[in-house]
A and B are shown apart, each in its own frame.
Chain A
Amino acid sequence: MEAVSEKVETTVTEIISRSLRIDVGKIVAQARLFVDLDAESLDLLDIRYEIENKFGIKISDNEITESVGRNLTQKEIGELLTVERVVSFVKDKINQQ
């Protein structure tokens, strides 16, 4: 189980790295996508597409951003959406299947 969890973490980090063109080594779990890694909403679409294909899961519109809380402002989402938050979202999705 731990191995699967680690694999999700590695794969998600790699996807984020590829999409944002940032070295994997520079992406820490606590990094905020919009604030620290300079992502924009389009990047999140790209990341979502790659995650869907890699893990065979279907993610609906805004599901990733809403996973940090509903009815939040863009600024609040920016503060809360970290790499580890995306990793745990993916793990939850896999477990639900």
Chain B
Amino acid sequence: MRKVVVSGIGIVSPFGNGTDIFWQGISKGKTAARLISAFDASDFPTRFCANVPLGDTELDALIENQKTIKTLSRPGKLAIIAVQEAVKHSGIDPDRVNNFRFGTSIGAAGLGLTDIDYTKNLVKLVRDSEAGKDDFFSQLWYGVSRKLHPMTPLKNLSNIPTAQIAIKYKAMGECLTVTTACTSSSQAIGEAYRKIKYGILDAAICGGSDSMTSPFGVSAFSILGVMSKNNDEYLTACRPFDKTRDGFMLGEGSAMFVIEEYEHCIKRGGTIFAEIIGYASTNDAFRLTDEPPDAAGSVRAMQNALKDASISAEDIDYINAHGTGTKMNDKTETYAIKRVFGEHSKSIPVSSTKSMIGHLIAAAGAIEFAACVLALQYKLIPPTINYRFKDEECNLDYVS
């Protein structure tokens, strides 16, 4: 069976631009929580998040192919910047690979809705249209055809960053965008791994990007009631596995990787940072946002991943948990870990890096995969911060 290795990493995180800055933050247990300043959030139930501390102009300046900026929403820009770092880090040369066997697999969400200007324009267009009342859609089209920039619909497409990445790096193999909410980028990396393992590709750029710390994102997750509203204590509000947890903190950013077949990496003189040895994906077919109390899907996913890797539960030394900080997730996830790892679960460190950087939604799996690769590289387990009070149903070692 072909071995799959990680040979390049690039990260734009709530700590700033670059893998080193990210590792400095999470390895030292810092929080990236800050009050929302990109828009007036004073009437929102949650007024803090962990956004990338760079404005759009600063992001634009970091993009090598300036012409593509007009097609990129904020998460698209974050994706491109992270990929630039990952490709440089790997040293892979698109002119010296088999381009037909070089693919892309990126986790992303509904991108354009994250742009503040787009939201403002849309609200204005709808408001103007209402003036017509009896011919709402005619009025709407009148407004759209005159006032909406033609790149706006493109920015809305989840696959545009993937396409721009493929064009820039001449990746002519499979070009995949995965949009499965919080699992988007875990699956994107997993699917790229499978394509290399089973001989469809030799190398791939994979990862994820998201920017839900926008008026739309904060509104959407507020309506769902899943975010912490502990505004008074926002610096310590995100408390995965803690008894006093009251929801997650939104994060923003992108983590990208170059992964490739082992021999392919060695032959071109690349450096190996980690090997991916197992992956699995399952579905509960239960409810849209609830997990079944027996955590059956999570249990099967972990068991199948162990099987794919041909290792036993006892071989696992660390788990980077989903650990969102919601009442339901942390309890069910703990239960799932106990079911899979049995007695061994008591001696596995389980940490939630979301306690520091928040929930990056479509990019969550990718940035947490980066945390695992870096933990291996530096031989250090990042902690769960803000953990103070034990919950009887969450009783593992959370590296607090």
Chain A contacts to B: CB under 8 angstroms: 19-21, 38, 42-43, 45-46, 48-49, 52
Contacts and interface: CB of A to CB of B under 8 A. Distances in A.
B311 interface: no
B151 interface: yes
B379 interface: no
Contact of B151 (A20, A21, A38, A42): A42
Contact of B67 (A20, A45, A48, A52): A20
A95 B350 CA distance: 71
Contacts of B146: 52
Contacts of B67: 19-21, 38, 43
B59 interface: no
Contacts of A19: 67, 70
A19 B149 CA distance: 12
Nearest to A20: B67
Nearest to B68: A21
A56 to B, nearest CB: 11
Contacts of B66: 21
Contacts of B199: none
B149 A49 contact: yes
Interface string B41-77: 0000000000000000000000000110111000000
Contacts of A21: 66-67, 69
| Main DSSP-derived SS at the B contact region | helix
Nearest to A37: B67
A21 B63 CA distance: 12
Interface string B130-156: 000000000000000010011100100
Nearest first, the 5 A-B pairs at minimum CB distance are A21-B66, A45-B150, A21-B67, A49-B150, A20-B67
A21 B71 CA distance: 13
Contacts of B151: 42, 45-46
A20 B151 CA distance: 14
A42 B151 CA distance: 8
Contacts of A46: 70, 149-151
A49 B149 CA distance: 7
Given A19-B70, A20-B67, A21-B66, A42 B149 contact: no
Nearest to B154: A42
Nearest to B69: A21
Contacts of A38: 67
Contacts of B150: 42, 45-46, 48-49
Contacts of A45: 150-151
A90 B149 CA distance: 19
22 contacts: A19-B67, A19-B70, A20-B67, A21-B66, A21-B67, A21-B69, A38-B67, A42-B71, A42-B150, A42-B151, A42-B154, A43-B67, A45-B150, A45-B151, A46-B70, A46-B149, A46-B150, A46-B151, A48-B150, A49-B149, A49-B150, A52-B146
B56 to A, nearest CB: 16
Contacts of B70: 19, 46
B10 to A, nearest CB: 22
Nearest to A19: B70
B32 to A, nearest CB: 32
Nearest to B145: A58
B118 to A, nearest CB: 15
A13 B150 CA distance: 20
A20 B150 CA distance: 15
Interface string B245-280: 000000000000000000000000000000000000
